[in-house]
Chain A
Amino acid sequence: MYKARHAWGFLSLPMLLLLIFTFIPSVMAFGLSFTSYNPFRPLEFVGLTNYVDAFQSSLFYSSMWNTIYYWILVTPALVVLPIFVAILVNQKLKGVKLFRLVFYFPVLVSVVVTALLWKWMFAREGIINYFLSLVGFEQIGWLTGSTTVIPALAFVTIWQGFGYYMLFYLASLQGVPKDLYEAAELDGAGFWQKHFHITIPMIKPMIFFVTVISTMGAFKEFTLMLTMTGGGPLNSSTTVVLLVFKEAFERLNMGYASAISFILFAVIMLVTLVNQRLLDKNPNA
């Protein structure tokens, strides 16, 4: 019925675009990382110099640390909190669908708008400080303090992202057989017991999935930093990808930037593999 030329006919255009914008760039990125490429200078092969430079640069280490710190704050929250929210909105309650929509809406808001909204929330005379002052905290310039900027950015990410993962968990909660809960209730299981012994084991594959994708997301985030703090104050919110971006498009050190992006790629792979080892011990889960 079908001939090979039909298959290639359909595949040709999409494959051409993938070739130009995905396959070739992947190889090119690797190649560039061994050169001193800068649009205004001739291409020169420099071997491992870029990698050596990166590992000798304090800015590289501090942005790696910023990225890891941000990941440590963001990922556990985005793995655990949405489970709780999904259980809440998975109940038969009046108006629960409206809550789902409200929780999901921030997902759709562009990073630029999010950045603007939260700049005001985190301002010295902003609402966050006001609420904190009610319980006796002092006013802090959240985004201008080098120790508070990453936690503040992490909070914004959690605010924007929990609705997204809530839907993931909701999809997986709806696959849990109802009679399991009924049986547990007859045995007198309370709220926590039910969810610890039934829900969590049943949605384990989704927990693993969310851990992996929120980890990748956290390691790759930089648009929020770019639009909200520009990486400051004094690079204290410069993440690795933001460093890549600045090196490539502001300082035009494209070879060096490519090397850093490859180091990051290796780190993401490593973290994902470790995650997999830790979370996927039980292959049947």
Chain B
Amino acid sequence: MAQSAPKETQTPTGAVVKHFPSPEPKRQGSYRSRKLSQKLISYFFLLVIASITVIPFLWTISTSLKSQNDAVFSIPPSFIPSQVTFENYITVWNTLPIPLYLWNSVILTFFGVLLPLILCAFAAFPLARMQFKGRNLVFLSIVATMMIPNEVTMIPVYLIINQLGLMGSFTGVILPGAVTALGIFLMRQAFMGIPKEVEESAVIDGANIWQLFWKIMFPMVKPMLGTLAILSFIASWNNFLWPFLILNDPTMYPITLGLYQLEGTFVTNTRLIAAGAMIALIPILLVFIALQRYFIEAAYSSSVKG
């Protein structure tokens, strides 16, 4: 990150600015030089947009590494700490139960991914493969709920969770999101793509319905399960509102809520909050780097089919 500040003003940008306004390549009309200038213009825009995307993160990293001697806010802003220190990270780690927050996030996310996978597949399987009375009614009523925003049902869901005695429990955070209409819809699409012969041969081989589902059908929709897993992962890991409303015991907070707490604890100490923000960012960054291809595919398939 130390190199990035000069990068913008230096190489590719400088070259592009020179090339872009000059009309020569265009007028000479050579196909190749037109392609080349188009490439340079593209890189110029890509770099501009990338720096807008990245600067807030770089700024946070740099703030989190600053010691008390460096001003956080200064004109001109200083991106490079005069002296890099990990003190802020240590302080945050020692003041707040960060590992506990992360662990809570892991538990909430684990069930927040597992339950939709199983339950949406359960609902989608008969809707895609079976003929039975009331099928269309069930499917239509599920699709209809996609029209009602969660924000409308927020208050009743809160009251119901309270009535069920789930206030202050992880179950209360997880259950409302365990089955989603979108999940059922996506899984149904996947099940519909399986050829009829597959289930027929399984039945001839003597599989009962439970085995047919778990051993044959469920593994065959793996790609869509992956998509749904990633979508639920993003939603669960970043979930803020339900834990905020449902949980009241700080030792049960996931990292998002922990960070929100942190802001109250260290009100003005920007360096410490920045370190906390980085700690919260690292897990999702690592998962993203490891599984980036699947993240992109998940976003694709939800956009094409949703």
A residues near B, CB below 8 A? Answer: 1-2, 4, 6-11, 13-15, 17-18, 20-26, 28-29, 32, 85, 88-89, 91, 93, 96, 99-113, 116-118, 120-121, 123-127, 130, 133, 159, 163-164, 167-168, 170-172, 191, 206, 209, 216, 220, 222-223, 227, 241, 244-245, 248-249, 254, 257-258, 261-262, 264-265, 268
Known contacts: A171-B304, A191-B38. The answer to whether A130 contacts B240 by CB under 8 A is no
A104 near B296: Cβ-Cβ < 8 Å: yes
Among B54, B60, B200, B256, the residue within 8 A (CB) of A110 is: B256
* Interface hits, B237-285 → A, CB 8 Å: 237-238, 240-241, 245, 256-257, 259-260, 263, 270, 273-274, 277, 280-281, 284-285
B213 near A10: Cβ-Cβ < 8 Å: yes
CB neighbours of B59 from chain A (8 A): 117, 120-121, 127
B130 near A2: Cβ-Cβ < 8 Å: yes
B179 near A14: Cβ-Cβ < 8 Å: yes
- B135 at interface by CB-CB < 8 Å: yes
Known contacts: A21-B160, A117-B60. The answer to whether A14 contacts B119 by CB under 8 A is yes
Among B73, B131, B277, B295, the residue within 8 A (CB) of A104 is: B295
Extra 16 A-B pairs, beta carbons < 8 Å, given A32-B156, A171-B304, A249-B158: A2-B132, A6-B130, A9-B209, A15-B138, A18-B181, A105-B53, A108-B284, A111-B240, A112-B257, A113-B280, A117-B56, A120-B72, A125-B74, A127-B59, A130-B77, A257-B155
Among B145, B149, B238, B284, the residue within 8 A (CB) of A216 is: B149
B145 near A26: Cβ-Cβ < 8 Å: yes
List 10 contacting pairs A-B, 8 Å CB cutoff, sorted by A.
Answer: A8-B126, A11-B122, A11-B123, A17-B179, A111-B238, A116-B277, A117-B56, A121-B55, A127-B55, A172-B303
CB neighbours of A18 from chain B (8 A): 142, 145, 179, 181
Count chain B CB atoms within 10 A of each CB in A7, A18, A109, A110 and give the residue with the most.
Answer: A110
Which 5 A-B pairs have CB atoms at the shortest separation, nearest pair first? A25-B156, A125-B73, A110-B238, A7-B126, A14-B123
Q: Kindly provide the distance from the CB of A245 to the nearest chain B CB, expressed in whole angstroms.
A: 8
A254 near B155: Cβ-Cβ < 8 Å: yes
Q: Kindly provide the distance from the CB of B241 to the nearest chain A CB, expressed in whole angstroms.
A: 6
Kindly supply a per-residue 1/0 record for chain B positions 122-143, scoring 1 wherever the CB is within 8 Å of any chain A CB and 0 otherwise: 1101110111110100100110
CB neighbours of A206 from chain B (8 A): 303
B160 near A20: Cβ-Cβ < 8 Å: yes
CB neighbours of A88 from chain B (8 A): 42, 45-46, 49
Known contacts: A88-B46, A171-B304, A223-B241. The answer to whether A22 contacts B122 by CB under 8 A is no
Among B125, B135, B157, B292, the residue within 8 A (CB) of A21 is: B157
B288 near A108: Cβ-Cβ < 8 Å: yes
Count chain B CB atoms within 10 A of each CB in A91, A99, A220, A244 and give the residue with the most.
Answer: A99
Could you say which interface size class chain B belongs to?
A: 35 or more
Kindly supply a per-residue 1/0 record for chain B positions 172-191, scoring 1 wherever the CB is within 8 Å of any chain A CB and 0 otherwise: 00011011010010000000
- B17 at interface by CB-CB < 8 Å: no
* Interface hits, B47-106 → A, CB 8 Å: 49-50, 52-57, 59-60, 63, 72-77
Chain B, Cβ-Cβ closest to A106? B53
A17 near B151: Cβ-Cβ < 8 Å: no
- B39 at interface by CB-CB < 8 Å: yes
Count chain A CB atoms within 10 A of each CB in B127, B179, B292, B304 and give the residue with the most.
Answer: B179
CB neighbours of A264 from chain B (8 A): 151-152
State the CA gap A114–B9 with chains docked (Å): 27
State the CA gap A103–B238 with chains docked (Å): 18
Chain B, Cβ-Cβ closest to A174? B300
Among B43, B178, B181, B199, the residue within 8 A (CB) of A1 is: B199
Chain B, Cβ-Cβ closest to A191? B38
Q: Kindly provide the distance from the CB of A124 to the nearest chain B CB, expressed in whole angstroms.
A: 8
CB neighbours of B150 from chain A (8 A): 220
